[in-house]
Structure 1
Amino acid sequence: MAMNKKEPGTNEETVSYYGAISRHESSSEAEGIPSADVSTCSRTEFREISRTAAPLVVTYLLQASLSFMTVVSVGRLNALDLGGVSLANVTFTATMAIFQGLATCLDTLCPQAYGSRQYQLVGLYFQRCLAISVLFAIPIALLWWFSAHVLPLVVDDSRLVVIAARFLRVMIVSIPGFVVFECGKKYLQAQKDFVTGQYILFVCAPLNALANYLFVFRFGMGYIGAPIATSLTFTLMGVSIIACIWYHTGKNGELECWNSLSNWRPIFTHWRTMISLAVPGIVMIEAEFLAFESLTVLAANFGTDALAAQSVVASIQGLTFQIPFATGVAGSNRIAYYVGEKQTNNCKLATRSTLMHIGGILAVANFLFLVGGRNYLPSFFSKDENVARLASEILPIIGVNQFADIFNVLAAGVLRAQGRQRIGGVLNIIAYYAVGIPLALTLGFCTEMRLKGFWTGLGCGIVVLAISEVYCVWNSDWPRIIHDSHLLHKISENDEE
């Protein structure tokens, strides 16, 4: 990934910034032949990716706070309610990850289409993803409705099952809003709009906290008030982002990045192309979510306090995870834009800045935060001293895990930008289910480590995954990736026409 040297006489006008259209387009670009690179530099990439990552970090943290707030509010009631809601949150997170995985195909397709100036394809991809998500929503809603019959297969405590099942039935209402917001967010990010989602959550996240307080405590509804508050919040988020998209469409009647709904037939064609990217994306996210969340389910075998402590550390881990994940999205968008623009060396420079420079800083920062705050962070989630003590003992292990996981998350973002989610999916399955989970179960149940053993074993899988994904990214065949991307969009472009 050697950095390009700036040619003599090159000035600032020739630098290709994210979202900018070079003034020096050639006929070869129009014919689909990779264009000569317009040089950038590592400093520019670091600055631009960091700048776009900042609002995304806020967005993802605020979005994660919605589920986190249910744990905080119910944690003030009692350990039993916290355990049941934690079980419901595990199921919610694991199944909603399917929609997040589906939306990862937009991380590949939309920025690449925008970078190659095929603007109407950006809107068409968004519409297709929404249509596909509707089909996936039906079995997920049915699973939640009948969860009282499914959860006993993994949890013996009938009291926890009753609480979790009631929680999930209410959360069915949240699915449309969640799907629309997730896809709408990707659609806007591909067009350099990284702040609309943030602004929506600036309003919705505080409203969610207020609603949790009112429904759980003020109105005396108990734990069932938490899913009511969260469902209302997701619905408001979905309506808000559609309103923003509609406003910009109405304001600019010839909006470039939109496929007119009167041209509806292409929305229901070429799903195979999107699904071929979406399914590995689901595997990448789902494999990691299920690996982490399965530990919460299994922690019920160690008692209610252990389950509550596991819920606390999982919530903390989930919040800190949002920082590298958001940064990976920012890096993915920038790299995918360069892929669409056919700028080979700029792809390499953006990848190097994402993994080495930004990744190194985030790895150290997250480690210090988790280890240094181990005696203080758990108290924000539970007033039970025994639960807080158990959680504080696990946080240093999570700090080590996060150090490695940051490189895994950023490398996964690069793979999404390249359209190589399939590689990430295979590596996730191997790392978590051939290494991480077996070690976690062995250390957790066959030694005295219990919860510590869970997180230590899983950490070994994370290290394997980080090393393997970084290796694949570092040895990328960028000319081949750019060529495949051009062919992929050519199919949709011909269909749209």
Structure 2
Amino acid sequence: MSSALSIKGRSYHDRVLETASLVSTSYLSSSPIAQEILARDLAEYSDDEQDGDAWGSDDESEFDLYGTDAPESHAAHLVSRPSGVAYGTLRPILAADVQASPALNARDYLQSRDAERSLLRDNHIIPPKHPRPFQESLFKRLYRWAFSTKVPTPKDGLGPVLSRVSTKGLESAPLLQHDYLGPVSPTPSEQDLLWDATVTANILKTTWQREAKTLTQYSRSLIVTFLLHYSVTVTSVFTVGRIGRLELGAVSLAVMSANITFYAPVQGLATCLDTLCAQAYGSGHKRLVGLQFQRMTYLLWMLILPIAVLWWNAQRVLGSIIPDPDTAALAGLYLRVLILGTPGVAAFESGKRFVQAQGMFHATTIVLFIGAPLNVLANWLFVWKLDWGFTGAASAVVFTQNLLPFLLFLYVRFVEGMECWNGLSRKALTNWGPMIRLALPGMIMVEAQYFAFEVLTLGASQFGSAHLAAQSVLVTVTSTTFNIPFPLSIAASTRIANLIGARLSDAARTSAKVALVAGCLVGLFNLTLLSTLRYQIPYLFTKDTEVAEIVSRVLPICAVLQVFDSLAAISHGLLRGIGRQGIGGFTNLFSYYLVALPISFATGWYLHWGLEGLWFGVAIGLAVVSSVELWYLHHADWQHAVEEADMRMRSDDAHQMDTK
């Protein structure tokens, strides 16, 4: 009998308590508020609804469908899944703390198997996939020396490995040529025994080549996805910049206002689904994933009414702040058009979490591969072909904002993901209080970071329309370049968390060093790009020579900023990987509000540096962030992080045994 069906015939209070204990057994680190939400939802479902759902039942598991056995909950397996990915981040906004990750599904399990097998081969525990010939050309030897992921063979051969690894359960596995411990193609059970034995013996190592290859594999699709999503903003700024200086500055002001008043709160509130949907899916209550998605979407749609009133009257509000009334009028017009896109923004933010909880991170990428080119086409059609001008650019944004959730719906309906959808339910209109309590901290964190950066646009508006237009170009350029190290930091966070969870602290440190080097290289690449093209980049966005001159003067500061920006992103990803994301969050807020903004305003107005002064303060703030976080990582106790992760897993195993 399923766990959901076992609560029939009890009082509502007893059902909530029992379902809370059932829900809480599936996570390494869970949220009490999230457990309360899911427990209430389970307790309120009627018997006939429960009978129609395979929640935690004795049905065949996903792993059996793939011909594999599910791993034990306490096993130190690698899991190749980024957690809490928030596609569409405009600037260095920290993802909210994810308090739970889904249990392994079949796709994750197979990826974990592949990663473990690669490490076993690298450490000469099982034979290589392609045995090395006895004679190799000089080029092949040089290539292997530079790019081989193999750990150097000990001088005394594999004797220490064979003597330190427990071979219990592998007595029948023949030792193959070259003294390899395992068979060429071990079965899942054989591989588990080898993996557990080598992890227990603490002999698994990794190389910088292996970690560089892994980080590349993890991050390449994320980089494409982030760049595709941000291309919606880039295309709009690029299009408006060809219209005129005033319009370019107005777009910057309008986007800043939209970020602070709606986009940031929506993104922050939706982060609670990273926990709720993950816990619902991880415990096998898949239809609760759809229920949480509905509930959050309705909440976000309720925010649209007051935002619509504010944006409709934005001209008067901005006019009292901005010295140029024409810029305020155009920004107000842009915001009025954007009102039509708010339902799509809210639905897409919730929809992303809905598919990510099921491990379908590729769904967003596929949607953006279709939506990004259509956004370019919409800009051309509305602005130039139909001659709508400035309002056409806003209309193109609205078109794309509503298109993306529609495409995501088509993907779920006709490709995969419908197993977590049980249709529209009136229960989505209840149980909002705990959800709001869980969502508010994420909203406050994201809003605080958005405001700290976007306030610089407000400051730039005080220097005139040309500086505001230049600010729009600079924000677009630096945000575009940031969408390379930020996905890389997510990949590094995932890899470090995997290795820490597998009790491989030495390997985790090696991976961290590789990630930091990669971050430096990305930062230097961006620095070189912005420095060498400082006079060409402005004219991609505007024909106004005054605006282009201002941009070219500030770009050297933005170029130096790239190194600090990249290192800050990578170091925070590493902190997330070892469970110290709070350090990064407080460091960023401290640096933004107590370092970056005061220096920006002092140099911008007191020293009369103008826009250069504003960006100089940002560069100093990011330098402080990267320095503090790197210092913490250098002195961090990585073995203690392993012990903490192991303690959480053991606690979870003990809780599972108590509830059986």
- TM category, shorter: 0.7 to 0.9
Label 1:11 to 1:188 Cα distance change in 2 as closer, same or farther (>3 A): farther
Q: Verify: 1:384 aligned to 2:544, yes or no.
A: yes
C-alpha distance 244-319 of structure 1, shift in aligned 2 (>3 A): same
Residue in 2 that maps onto 1:145: 309
Matches within 5 A, 1:317-336: 317-336=478-497
Instruction: Give, in whole Å, the separation in 1 of the partners of 2:409 and 2:302.
Output: 21
Structure-1 separation of matches of 2:340 and 2:656: 35
1:14-43, Cα deviation, whole Å (9 max, x unpaired): 99xxxxx987568xx9xxxx9887946243
Equivalent-residue separation in structure 2 for 1:373 and 1:64 (angstroms): 21
CA contact (8 A) 1:63 1:201 kept: yes
Are 2:646 and 1:479 equivalent residues in the alignment?
no
**Corresponding letter in the other structure for 2:125:** G
Residue 457 of structure 2 is aligned to residue 291 of structure 1 = no
Indicate whether 1:465 and 2:619 are aligned. Answer: no
What amino acid is the match of 2:455? S
Partner of 2:380: 213
Give the structure 2 partner of residue 361 of structure 1: 521
Distance of aligned partners of 1:243 and 1:259 in 2 relative to their CA distance in 1, 3 Å threshold? closer
Contact 1:370 1:396 in 2 (8 A): yes
- The letter for the 1-side match of 2:365 is Q
In structure 2, how many angstroms separate the alpha carbons of the residues matched to 1:344 and 1:271?
41
Q: What is the Cα deviation at residue 167 of structure 1? A: 1.7
Q: Residue 166 of structure 1 corresponds to which residue in structure 2?
A: 333
Contact residue 503 and residue 642 of structure 2 kept, 8 A: no
**Aligned counterparts of 1:325 and 1:405: Cα–Cα separation in 2:** 9
Alpha-carbon offset, residue 281 of structure 1: 4.8
Bigger share in helix: 1
* Aligned-partner residue type, residue 340 of structure 2: V
- Structure 1 stretch displaced more, 289-298 or 360-369: 289-298
- Give the conservation status (yes or no) of the 8 Å contact 2:290–2:422: no
Match of 2:588 in 1: 428
1:374 and 2:374 correspond: no
Match of 2:473 among 309, 312, 316: 312
Give how far 1:50 is off: 1.2
Are residues 132 and 193 of structure 1, via their aligned partners in 2, closer, same or farther at CA, if it must alter by over 3 Å? Answer: closer
Alignment counterpart, residue 237 of structure 2, candidates 58, 66, 71: 71
Q: Equivalents in 2 of 1:275, 1:351: separation in Å?
A: 36
Please say which of residues 417-426 and 448-457 is displaced more in the overlay: 417-426
Root-mean-square deviation (CA, aligned residues, Å) is 4.2
Contact residue 272 and residue 435 of structure 2 kept, 8 A: no
Letter in 2 for 1:143: I
Q: Is the deviation greater in 390-399 or in 131-140? A: 131-140
User: Which of 201, 206, 215 is residue 368 of structure 2 equivalent to?
Assistant: 201
- Report the secondary structure of 1:156's partner residue: coil
- Distance change >3 Å, CA 335–CA 366, structure 1 → 2: same
In the TM superposition, residue 171 of structure 1 has moved relative to its aligned partner by 1.8
Instruction: Tell me which of 234, 240, 244 is aligned to 2:401.
Output: 234
Q: Is 1:131 aligned with 2:298?
A: no
Amino acid corresponding to residue 71 of structure 1 in structure 2: V
Identify which range, 421-430 or 314-323, moves more after superposition.
421-430
SS in 2 for 1:146: helix
Is residue 62 of structure 1 aligned with residue 62 of structure 2?
A: no
User: Aligned AA for 2:641?
Assistant: W
Alpha-carbon separation, structure 2, partners of 1:490 and 1:157: 63
Q: Is the 8 A contact 1:121 1:259 kept in 2?
A: no
1:109 positional shift: 8.2
Deviation by residue 1:215-265 (Cα, 9 ceiling, x = unmatched):
122222221111211111121111212322333447xx8x6xx47669997
Equivalent residue for 1:80? 246
Amino acid at match of 2:469: A
1:475-495 deviation line (CA, Å, top 9, x unaligned): 26423652686599899999x
TM-score of the aligned structures, taking structure 2 as reference length: 0.62
State the alpha-carbon separation in 1 of the partners of residues 440 and 574 from structure 2.
Answer: 17
Q: Deviations over 1:324-357 (max 9, x none)?
A: 1222233334445556x55453882475056323
2:243 aligns to what SS in structure 1?
Answer: coil
**Residues 365 and 104 (structure 1), Cα distance of their counterparts in 2 relative to 1, 3 Å cut:** farther
1:18 matched to which residue of 2?
none
In 1: Cα distance, 2:371 partner to 2:620 partner: 37
- Bigger-Rg structure (1/2): 2
Work out whether residues 355 and 407 of structure 1, in 8 Å CA contact, stay in contact via their aligned partners in 2. Answer: no
CA distance in 2, matches of 1:384, 1:288: 31
Change (3 A) 1:491 1:435: farther
Amino acid paired to 1:478: A
Q: Which amino acid aligns with 2:645?
A: I
Quote how far apart the aligned CAs of 1:269 are: 6.6
Q: Tell me what 1:9 maps to.
A: 125
Task: Tell me whether 59-68 or 267-276 shows the greater mean CA deviation.
Answer: 267-276
8 A contact 2:270–2:349 mirrored in 1: yes
1:98 and 1:354 mapped to 2: Cα distance? 35
Percentage identity across paired residues of the two chains:
30
- Counterpart for residue 256 of structure 2: 90
**1:456 aligned partner:** 616
How many pairs align? 471
Contact 1:37–1:346 at 8 Å: present in 2 too? Answer: no
| 1:306-341 residue CA offsets vs partner (Å, 9 max, x unmatched) | 1111111111111111111222233334445556x5
Measured at CA, do residues 158 and 270 of structure 1 come closer, stay the same or move farther in structure 2, by a change above 3 Å? closer
Q: Which amino acid aligns with 2:515?
A: L
